[in-house]
Chain A
């Protein structure tokens, strides 16, 4: 196992940042800690790094307890959102830092350091910027220098705190793809923190969804997206339509439309919630079957590959629907039209789950 996190508790004054968190990260894995701000994801990362000490619990690297190792003994590569490059040093000096501060006996020769720094800068595609100062680089370049600097000490694990958070959307996407390729090349056990769902789903081997100091779900990106274990994960990972339904005679009702009740919802429950993603609707001009919502289109935005539709159902619910632009042209719908939308997939949750 790469990193084992066992029953970690952490409080700041009265605020419980982490509540009994356990997590196993395999060697060579790229894991995303995903959650809203204040969820405790950064605290967890800082505890793994050794920047914060947990109140309870332990962290193991490759089955070795590291609780008593100092920050400089842990051999972690830590990359900050705002890069934390040494401002008064050139790119070369920044990347060489980890090697040049080693005790004389363990320090590589000047030539070796030079060679290593050149290799690393080639890896992050910044060889030409050797003698620049951080202030002379763009955000994306700075983050790559920070990464090269962290990799110079050949860390056992790489930890990234919102690594792309300070970059603009386009650079973020490029750097994301680049980091994925880099990880596939180096296979270094890596954990990154993000609040960006798309980033987590696109980049990570596994996603850890965290909320209010607890892990809500751990799984492959497609698992957490398509099979969320609770309403929070469902809400957090994408747009949703929420319907409150009443349960009668072992069936769920939205308005007066009956729906089969899945086995995990008790038939004795009085009510339940149904979640449907906007893109999981079939839009029709005439109803096929009796499982459709009838509604009037209130708003429609066809700019882009996906058309966003807002409609009000006959029971007064606001429904968000997304369809591909091609389908929109075929249907020839416009604002004010009455349409039928049939859910292709729904997710039931008992009503007792509080978000």
Chain B
């Protein structure tokens, strides 16, 4: 910026080039700020987790992870992910499809609704299910009469997780589908393809990266969700505890090493997600 004034006499190309490049000290300050920030707020905590988890040796680490209660938390988390993510995949596809390819009354409202879980605090997300399905809730007596348990049980956890991960797939797909329009689909239909063939052979290949990306993001969120799940879970050890809830319990019992050991598991899952995500992104940009 400051450097351009003295350089006006040079050829236009050089001026144009230099005028969009900051002077070195600005660059170094910006890079430095970003690096320091990342180190303090990201790298350092990750290291702490790893170091604390291993502070009592590999044996203790393995023990903390293979503890039956911990194992059951892992199983429950994976179970919840296995239900919530496919549900959101189907819902996200349907929502993105209807929003990007059709015009209908209430479209704007639906778009706003999809974003709701992003804007509502997770605790509230959990609470609405308690108010709906809990013993004192609107549907409570009905559920009790039929002996159906949702709150403080696995179904509640699944519902809360679906709610908070609701927008991910749809939000990823809407811009992709909108930018692609429907000309390829129309072409496929005029060529005699059925609606189903059009979806599998034309639509799906076009949106697969966006779809996978959305699935990865919603999986990550589903595994790590604490607030909403905490409200509806009831924290019953070995039954309704997911990994994040188990970490909290261990921490509250001053069992820091075990807490960090289990936390490192979540972190590992997060790292896998990030790696998968960047692998997907590189795949997307590759020329086909």
Identify the A interface with B (CB < 8 A): 49-51, 70-72, 74-78, 80, 82, 84-88, 97-98, 101-102, 133, 135, 146, 149-150, 152-153
Encoded as 1 (CB less than 8 Å from any A CB) or 0, chain B from 170 to 199 comes to 000000000000011011111111100100
Q: Which residues of A contact B197 (CB under 8 A)?
A: 101
Check B193–A84 contact: CB distance below 8 A.
Answer: no
- From known contacts A88-B206, A88-B288, A133-B288, infer whether A97 and B186 are also in contact, taking CB-CB under 8 Å: no
B262–chain A nearest beta-carbon distance, Å: 42
- Complex Cα–Cα for A51 and B181 (A): 14
Q: Is B24 engaged at the interface, CB distance under 8 Å to the other chain?
A: no
- From known contacts A82-B183, A86-B202, A88-B206, infer whether A72 and B288 are also in contact, taking CB-CB under 8 Å: no
- Complex Cα–Cα for A149 and B188 (A): 10
Q: Is B201 engaged at the interface, CB distance under 8 Å to the other chain?
A: yes
- Complex Cα–Cα for A101 and B193 (A): 6
Q: Is B2 engaged at the interface, CB distance under 8 Å to the other chain?
A: no
Check A49–B190 contact: CB distance below 8 A.
Answer: yes
Check B183–A72 contact: CB distance below 8 A.
Answer: no
Q: Which residues of B contact A75 (CB under 8 A)?
A: 192
Check A87–B206 contact: CB distance below 8 A.
Answer: yes
- From known contacts A80-B183, A101-B197, infer whether A153 and B206 are also in contact, taking CB-CB under 8 Å: no
Q: Which residues of B contact A51 (CB under 8 A)?
A: 186
Q: Is B287 engaged at the interface, CB distance under 8 Å to the other chain?
A: yes
B205–chain A nearest beta-carbon distance, Å: 4
Judged by DSSP, the binding face of B is helix
Q: Which residues of B contact A82 (CB under 8 A)?
A: 183
Q: Which residues of A contact B186 (CB under 8 A)?
A: 51, 71, 78, 80, 84
Question: Which 7 pairs across A and B sit closest by C-beta, in order of nearness?
Answer: A98-B191, A84-B183, A71-B189, A101-B193, A88-B205, A78-B190, A84-B187
Encoded as 1 (CB less than 8 Å from any A CB) or 0, chain B from 228 to 247 comes to 00000000000000000000
A-B contact count (CB 8 A): 67
Chain B residue nearest to A90 in the complex (CB) = B288
Check B288–A97 contact: CB distance below 8 A.
Answer: no
**Interface CB pairs A-B, < 8 A, 19:** A49-B190, A72-B189, A72-B192, A75-B192, A78-B186, A84-B187, A86-B184, A86-B201, A87-B184, A88-B206, A88-B288, A97-B191, A97-B201, A101-B188, A101-B193, A133-B288, A150-B190, A153-B191, A153-B192
Q: Which residues of A contact B205 (CB under 8 A)?
A: 86, 88
Q: Which residues of A contact B189 (CB under 8 A)?
A: 70-72
A193–chain B nearest beta-carbon distance, Å: 14
Encoded as 1 (CB less than 8 Å from any A CB) or 0, chain B from 191 to 229 comes to 111100100011001100000000000000000000000
Out of B183, B191, B194, name the residue touching A149 (CB < 8 Å).
B191
Q: Which residues of B contact A97 (CB under 8 A)?
A: 188, 191, 193, 201
Q: Which residues of B contact A86 (CB under 8 A)?
A: 184, 187-188, 201-202, 205
Chain B residue nearest to A93 in the complex (CB) = B201
B252–chain A nearest beta-carbon distance, Å: 51
Check A102–B192 contact: CB distance below 8 A.
Answer: yes
With A82-B183, A84-B187 already in contact, 20 other A-B pairs whose C-beta atoms are closer than 8 Å: A51-B186, A71-B189, A72-B189, A72-B190, A72-B192, A72-B193, A78-B187, A78-B190, A84-B186, A85-B184, A86-B205, A87-B288, A88-B205, A98-B191, A101-B188, A101-B193, A101-B201, A133-B288, A135-B287, A153-B191
Chain B residue nearest to A103 in the complex (CB) = B194
Out of B184, B194, B206, B288, name the residue touching A101 (CB < 8 Å).
B194
A134–chain B nearest beta-carbon distance, Å: 9
Q: Which residues of A contact B193 (CB under 8 A)?
A: 72, 97-98, 101
Interface centre among B188, B206, B287 (most CB of A within 10 A): B188
B256–chain A nearest beta-carbon distance, Å: 50
- From known contacts A87-B288, A135-B287, A135-B288, infer whether A101 and B183 are also in contact, taking CB-CB under 8 Å: no
